[in-house]
Structure 1
């Protein structure tokens, strides 16, 4: 299996996040990716596909903001990482805003995703990592490949950041596959948290099927997306499938939901599959509450691989750093049987 990683993604190192009512050390530390690289062994560097594939998914004003936000923060006399503190609840509409505090609110939805001096560069190379790993899947030289992306991406919408995510790597890859004539595409999100950004991007589209198995948003982040009655809109009606599960779910229960998702993907008739893989479903994850064990990931992946689709695996969450490499290797092994 081809595995792609760029060390420039390690430069993104936010100091803290506002979590559970107070400031806490940030969970998305560079050592997450380092532990995976150590377990994987050889990886290949990404090619630079430029901004066009990113612009195909993300709004231009949002991309301009990401590239300039930290400099604006510093120019306003602030130190440290840029983070918002006010968000529009209703009446969200285009406005001519210039103050960094207002722009942070406009283009984000939480206080857990600060912008560091290196966030844009790391996210950019994360997107290039996904596109590079996608290429051999599209040209038929590989049946599956792995993009080690950090920061993750599935919480990022077309014009907003959140949930540690800045650019939506899975969505960028999905759009690139469609633009290459390899659609329709299915995205299967198996992170502990719902991929709200991915859902938003494709909610009204009929050429991308989005299936997500995640913690019930009635109790878990991101709360406002991922409920079972969200099924898509307009041309995308029926192309969104949310399968929320309760805290404490083990693999036996999870596997039933996975079977439902895979059946729906097969019925959709996808030509290309993108898996948003989060290892935060692990029983030892410090911020999540499922009970999946390391050996279970191989079985999970084998079930997915049985679809027989060309598959790109994109790394999302997973915060039990010491176990992260083993969990990723276990998952990838299910595609190599």
Structure 2
């Protein structure tokens, strides 16, 4: 299987993270790259570097206002007397329809949903090439190259069209799906990350041409809290084109695979001809976030379930944090898919 990654994705090295009122090391470490690369290679993947497709495919999903902010905010932050090394918001609008401030501090609150998406010197470049890797994966499918794996890091599924959040800045899975849609295909995005793909949902929520499905730990007591509930079905033309399958904390293989069966039935009923898998591996029983309890055997079955669709699949890396099984879980998904395909 073809795999796509750019070395500039190493440049993002976030330091700040807060959970339960406590400052902790950020889990979205560059070291994930090395582990994920090893896991992909163990499944027979061969990596290549993406071409630069420019901002067009990214701007098809993200607003020009947000991209201007994201590209320039770190430089602007340096002009603030006594500012920290990372752009971290300390205020958020009560309603995002309120005024748009001129200050760097105000704009950071407007465009960063939480404190888990700090922006430092290399963040924009890393996120840009993470997105280009996803675009390269989509183009590989469009060229008839078969299914592929994209090592997108930083991840993307919490990023809305004009809002970063939860380690995510550019929504790689959404960008890939839009690239496929612009080429005339009918994509479905299936998100198997332990956290709800709230940014992906938000981007396509009023559209009927891209199906969005997310399996995740129930947000009643789990990030992102405000999105991911079963009643969120889309709106306008998109009503019925968003499916959330929240799972009880600690759900193991059988429960997860049952929900995945429901998800894949919806993909078939959508008439999808290509699938983007937002491949979070943090549903693992070993993941530090401890939301769900999928085993290595479960990940093999997840890969095989996607193969049973008989459609081209683009695996785009989302979450999955450092543990003894992280690389093995990726190997299991890709091996499970390739064996069953």
SS in 2 for 1:150: coil
What's the offset of the Cα at 1:96? 4.3
Structure 1 residue 128 corresponds to structure 2 residue 132: yes
Other-structure match for 1:87: 92
**Would the aligned equivalents of 1:138 and 1:310 in 2 still touch at CA under 8 Å?**
no
Structure 1 residue 219 corresponds to structure 2 residue 218: no
**After superposition, what is the alpha-carbon deviation per residue over 1:181-209, rounded to whole angstroms, capped at 9, x for unaligned?**
11x21000000000000000000000011
SS in 1 for 2:243: strand
**Would the aligned equivalents of 2:138 and 2:177 in 1 still touch at CA under 8 Å?**
no
Other-structure match for 2:168: 165
Query: Which of 52, 59, 62 is the equivalent residue of 2:63?
Result: 59
**Would the aligned equivalents of 2:191 and 2:277 in 1 still touch at CA under 8 Å?**
yes
What's the offset of the Cα at 1:4? 0.6
SS in 2 for 1:266: helix
SS in 2 for 1:322: coil
Point out where structure 2 has 5 or more consecutive residues left out of the alignment: none
CA RMSD of aligned residues (A): 1.1
C-alpha distance in 1, partners of 2:67/2:184?
A: 26
Other-structure match for 2:27: 27
SS in 2 for 1:39: helix
C-alpha distance in 1, partners of 2:293/2:160?
A: 29
**Would the aligned equivalents of 2:286 and 2:323 in 1 still touch at CA under 8 Å?**
no
**Would the aligned equivalents of 2:286 and 2:324 in 1 still touch at CA under 8 Å?**
no
Aligned length: 334
**After superposition, what is the alpha-carbon deviation per residue over 1:9-44, rounded to whole angstroms, capped at 9, x for unaligned?**
111001121221121110100001111112333411
C-alpha distance in 2, partners of 1:18/1:332?
A: 33
| TM superposition score normalised by structure 2 | 0.96
SS in 2 for 1:67: helix
* Residue correspondence of structure 1 range 1-337 to structure 2 within 5 A: 1-41=1-41, 42-77=46-81, 78-90=83-95, 92-93=96-97, 95-142=99-146, 144-182=147-185, 184-337=186-339
**Would the aligned equivalents of 2:27 and 2:322 in 1 still touch at CA under 8 Å?**
no
